[in-house]
Amino acid sequence: MNILISGGSGFIGQTLSQYLQDAQGTEQDSQYSDTHITWLTRDASQPHPSFVSLMSYEQLQTTQSTFDVIVNLAGAGIADKRWSDERKQLLLQSRLKPTQALLDYISRTSVKPKLLLSGSAIGWYGDQGETPLDESSRFEDKGDADFAHQLCEAWEAKAKQALDFKVPVVILRTGIVIHPSGGMLAKILPAFKMGLGGQLGDGNQIMSWISLNDWVRAAVHIMAQHTANEHYADSTVYNLTAPHPLSNAVFTQVVGSWLKRPTFMTLPKAVLKLMFGEMSGLLIEGQKVLPKHLLDTGFVFKHTALKQALMAQKLS
């Protein structure tokens, strides 16, 4: 199986690539016994594992190579910097331009991919408090500009254009991915290790999370489901979140307990808004997102509790 990954050098893409490589020859993932992985990149000289090939966007325009599955994860980190107008444009274009390049490739290649998996986030649902949300739930428009939703919606709509070329599309709405090497956890660990960790705002906002291991396992499970069954012919949404979301207050307590550090600090909403501006919504708003579709396909999580997921990790 030939797999093309945009954003392959990122936090999730690297782990997915390694998982697919390690799965070769195992009975559980025999479908991937002869897998070749290519990263789509703007820098063809970047460091990469020996089992990965690199393809530039320029090469994609003329390549005769064919791919069974395309995984579209490219995009600048949404929480890396304060949201200025310029930053918002970068966040949007860093997702739409790679996706358009993939659509251009799909449109001209004679052998179409069996599947396009494209990233998104649970921010698509907007701030809906403690309302349980599954893949059938809709965005609740409260009349305010919601950039996280707008970003996800634009990215999803662009990816779904692959349906015009008879390529099935899977949208992966991802929650907070838990691993010490990246994502939110890597950003907050230094403060927590120093005993400066604490809840954000009132701590009531719901955090829908998933361990990095389960995210990768889920993506591969979905890949297998959709490439093996022809009845998956349209677009499908999966929430990539663990079955048990929890409040920010509980999240804070669990992380503190894992590190054996106090968590007395609190950052009031007003301070967060002053520090991060519009981006503070990512920290003080939440969604109770449930992985109904994933569970319906028979996927079994390894980490259903946050403490369980954290204890499985090694700290440097």
In the predicted model, what is the mean pLDDT of residues 260-276?
91
Q: Which residues contact 25 (CB under 8 A, 6 or more apart)?
A: 33
Question: What tokens appear for 294 in the block?
Answer: 């994933």
pLDDT tens digit sequence for 95-110 = 999 999 999 999 999 9
**Above 80 in pLDDT, residue 243?**
yes
Strands (E), the chain: 2-6, 36-41, 52-56, 69-72, 115-121, 132-133, 169-174, 176-178, 198-200, 206-207, 209-211, 235-240, 246-247, 265-267, 288-289
> Is the model more confident about 295 or about 26?
295
d(CA 78, CA 92): 10
Q: What is the pLDDT of residue 29?
A: 54
Q: What is the pLDDT of residue 231?
A: 59
- Rounded percentage of the chain residues whose pLDDT exceeds 70: 93
Task: Determine contact, residues 72/117, Cβ cutoff 8 Å.
Answer: yes
pLDDT tens digit sequence for 58-96 = 999 999 999 999 999 999 999 889 999 999 999 999 999
d(CA 81, CA 125): 22
d(CA 290, CA 223): 20
**Above 60 in pLDDT, residue 217?**
yes
d(CA 173, CA 214): 14
State the DSSP code for 315: P
pLDDT tens digit sequence for 30-60 = 566 689 999 999 988 888 989 999 999 999 9
Question: What tokens appear for 122 in the block?
Answer: 């649970």
In the predicted model, what is the mean pLDDT of residues 146-163?
96
In the predicted model, what is the mean pLDDT of residues 157-185?
95
Using alpha carbons, select from 261, 250, 243 the residue that is nearest to residue 202.
250
Q: What is the pLDDT of residue 57?
A: 96
User: What is the rounded (10 degree) CA torsion for 235, 241, 244, 246?
Assistant: -120
Q: How confident is the model at residue 234 (pLDDT cuts 50, 70, 90)?
A: confident
Q: What is the pLDDT of residue 62?
A: 95
State the DSSP code for 312: T
**Average pLDDT of the chain to the nearest whole number:** 92
Q: How confident is the model at residue 111 (pLDDT cuts 50, 70, 90)?
A: very high
In the predicted model, what is the mean pLDDT of residues 99-126?
97
Q: Which residues contact 44 (CB under 8 A, 6 or more apart)?
A: 54, 55, 56, 59
d(CA 111, CA 106): 8
Q: What are 237's strand-pairing partners?
A: 171
State the amino acid at position 101 in one-letter form: A
Q: What is the pLDDT of residue 299?
A: 97
Question: What tokens appear for 98 in the block?
Answer: 């790679």
